[in-house]
Amino acid sequence: MGRRRPDTPTLEEVAARAGVGRGTVSRVVNNAAGVRESTRRAVQQAIAELGYVPNLAARTLAGRRADAVALVVTEPDWRLFAEPFFSEIVSSLGDALADTGMQLLLTMVRSDTERKRFLEYARGGRVDGALLVSVRADDTLPDMLAEARLPTVMLGRRSGDEHVSYVDADNAGGARSAVTHLLATGHKAIATITGPLDMYVAQSRLRGYRQALAAAGLSTDESWIAEGDFTEESGRRAMARLLARHPEIDAVLAASDTTAAGALRELRATGRRVPDDVAVIGFDDFPLSEQTEPRLTTVRQPLAEIGRAMVRLLLEELEEPALAWRHVILRTELIRRDSA
């Protein structure tokens, strides 16, 4: 655990830069009356030059809280907004905020320009904190928000060495349990369809797949791995690639339920029976998993609990802005149905 960086500009530094008193800066920050326009402009210029962000706790005490939280989606591919994950997590976070009196504002941030625009929007006091979803490994937005002292919590993480608060599921453990189940039921030619490998969640599920096979003394040759993007169509295409390489496949772990649904389509199209010829396991346990034919065995990640934990961490940071960043990892569960 670590503390936030202490080197952000202070109210006193803004006052010194603008050549005014601390109280004048406070009145400008809080948009109070009684400040000459020339003085207001000088303070605003000093704030911009120094990158000063008003202390959120002080604004709260002054009745300046926005009572709004930004749900920031950084996914650049619009197709993925049709996937069940996004509706499930929005519902989960909305339910968790329902009794707080705070609004959940959905914001898309997919480029450097949009990152800068959102940072300025947040610095303007329009939101009290941010919940980040679908963050890629190289995304700098979480660091920008943390340095701006805006309470921020991510769903998932960018790497194993994350310095921003996050809530995550045990993705590697979930994948291990799925592959262990396949091995225990007699499968040995086990392939996997991953998510986008520039996302830590996909890397973790792939790592769990490899760990389970290695523990059983089986090969983890790269030809048994096909990258997808969590969509159904990517699952279908990846399954076709895997079957072309290894017609002897007898099981597949898909990185999401929608990916697994695509794999089921391709297996049916090639005349393979599930689970008799090829067993299939998904990941997430969305309602979709009950609607596939056959019903999908899958790894459940507790999205409702994830949403509650994200909101809890964010509210704690709002109450105590100097609080250290925290990491919460929740357990997954293998849900056995008909496909494996």
- The most confident of 5-14, 171-180, 218-227, by mean pLDDT: 171-180
Phi, psi of 191 (to 5 degrees): -105, 175
pLDDT in tens, 263-273: 999 999 999 99
325 CB-near residues (< 8 Å, 6+ apart): 1, 2, 4, 146, 163, 164, 165
Of the given ranges (23-32, 68-77, 158-167), which has the lowest mean pLDDT? 23-32
pLDDT in tens, 307-331: 889 998 998 888 776 666 789 999 9
What distance in Å separates the CA atoms of residue 41 and residue 197, rounded to the nearest whole number? 47
Does residue 155 surpass a pLDDT of 80? yes
Is 4 in contact with 146 (CB distance < 8 Å)?
A: yes
SS3 string of 230-295? Answer: CCHHHHHHHHHHHHHHCCCCCEEEECCHHHHHHHHHHHHHCCCCCCCCCEEEEEECCHHHHCCCCC
| Predicted local confidence at residue 130, as pLDDT | 94
Q: For residue 61, name the pLDDT band (cuts at 50, 70, 90).
A: very low
| Predicted local confidence at residue 125, as pLDDT | 82
pLDDT in tens, 210-247: 999 999 999 778 999 999 999 999 999 999 999 999 99
Does residue 110 surpass a pLDDT of 60? yes
Q: For residue 34, name the pLDDT band (cuts at 50, 70, 90).
A: low
Does residue 4 surpass a pLDDT of 50? no
| Predicted local confidence at residue 28, as pLDDT | 78
What distance in Å separates the CA atoms of residue 248 and residue 111, rounded to the nearest whole number? 43
Angle of CA points 207, 213, 216, to nearest 5°: 140
Q: Which domains does the chain have, with CATH numbers?
A: 11-52 (1.10.260.40), 68-169+304-330 (3.40.50.2300), 171-300 (3.40.50.2300)
Q: For residue 86, name the pLDDT band (cuts at 50, 70, 90).
A: confident
Please give the mean pLDDT across all residues of the chain. 87
Q: What is the mean pLDDT of the segment spanning 281-297?
A: 94
What distance in Å separates the CA atoms of residue 278 and residue 266, rounded to the nearest whole number? 11
Torsion over CA: 34, 36, 39, 45 (sign): positive
**Whole-structure pTM value:** 0.77
Does residue 25 surpass a pLDDT of 90? no
| Predicted local confidence at residue 81, as pLDDT | 64
By CB atoms closer than 10 A (0-12, 13-18, 19+), residue 159 is: exposed
What the block records as the tokens of 94 is 């909305």
Q: For residue 32, name the pLDDT band (cuts at 50, 70, 90).
A: low
By CB atoms closer than 10 A (0-12, 13-18, 19+), residue 193 is: buried
Does residue 6 surpass a pLDDT of 50? no
pLDDT in tens, 117-152: 998 888 888 898 999 988 888 888 998 888 888 899
What distance in Å separates the CA atoms of residue 179 and residue 120, rounded to the nearest whole number? 46
Q: What is the mean pLDDT of the segment spanning 190-202?
A: 95
Q: For residue 56, name the pLDDT band (cuts at 50, 70, 90).
A: very low
Q: What is the mean pLDDT of the segment spanning 78-101?
A: 78
What distance in Å separates the CA atoms of residue 100 and residue 176, rounded to the nearest whole number? 37
Angle at which helices 303-319 and 84-97 pack, to 10 degrees? 50
Phi, psi of 321 (to 5 degrees): -60, -25
Helical spans, DSSP H, in the chain: 11-18, 22-29, 37-50, 56-61, 84-97, 112-123, 141-147, 171-184, 200-215, 232-245, 257-269, 303-319
Return the SS3 of 82.
helix
Beta strand 333-335 pairing with 297-300 = antiparallel
